[in-house]
Amino acid sequence: MSRFDRTPEIGGQTTPDEPSDQMLIREWFERLLFASRFLLTPLYLALAVSLLALLAKAGLHLYFLITQLQTFNDEGVLLSVLAIVDMTLTASLVVIVFLSGYTNFVAPVAMKEGDGKPHWIAEIDFSELKLKLMASIVAISAIKLLEGFMDVSHVADRELGWLVGIHLTFVASTLLLAIADRLSSPPRHGPTSGV
């Protein structure tokens, strides 16, 4: 009998099916590591509460737009609307992060037909989450860039250059991430693939 075929010895005797001290420590450590994922829950809750701040800020933009509408020119109205769009996109980004992050990293969310929950949450994987986040960041960056160009008379050339550079960096990063994901994922064979 080899040393690998023996059962662990406890107190000088071999006992079948009883874990060794090493295995107990390893199991305890793994349980601790997996349980620590619940430490993310307060962070996701903080993100959910931060939506109130974004809602309040969008409300202030709307109030300012309505009360100052008669004094605004077309560009002023567009800039105010773009600010609300920016808040909306940012809030959507936050929702994507905390819902899919909770589902992917903490605990799966039980989904039932007609429960009112967006079912894409349970279907999104980490790779798709990265792409959705990057696409949202590109959209937010585009809004900021558009705001800068709408108010070009009050924005310095250097600031516009930075806005363009940052936006192009986000676009290039998103494209590279999408290409890397496409190259690293196995090919999907569907009914129309012809394979």
pLDDT digits (tens, 9 = 90+) for 72-92: 888 888 888 999 999 999 998
The whole-number pLDDT of residue 195 equals: 40
d(CA 42, CA 121): 19
3-state class of 190 per DSSP? coil
The answer to whether residues 126 and 181 touch, using CB atoms and an 8 Å cutoff, is: no
Name the stretches of the chain with pLDDT < 70: 1-19, 122, 187-195
pLDDT, tens digit, for every residue of 148-178?
888 888 888 899 999 999 999 999 999 999 8
Residue found by looking up tokens 């960041």 in the block: 137
Q: Contacts for 123-126 with beta carbons within 8 Å, 24 or more apart?
A: 124/100
What does the buried/exposed string (b/e) look like for 46-60 if buried means 16 or more CB atoms within 10 Å of the residue's CB? Answer: ebeeeeeebeebbee
Q: How far is C-alpha 93 from the geometric centre of its chain's CA atoms?
A: 7
One-letter amino acid identity for 187?
P
Distance (Å, rounded) from C-alpha 17 to C-alpha 8? 8
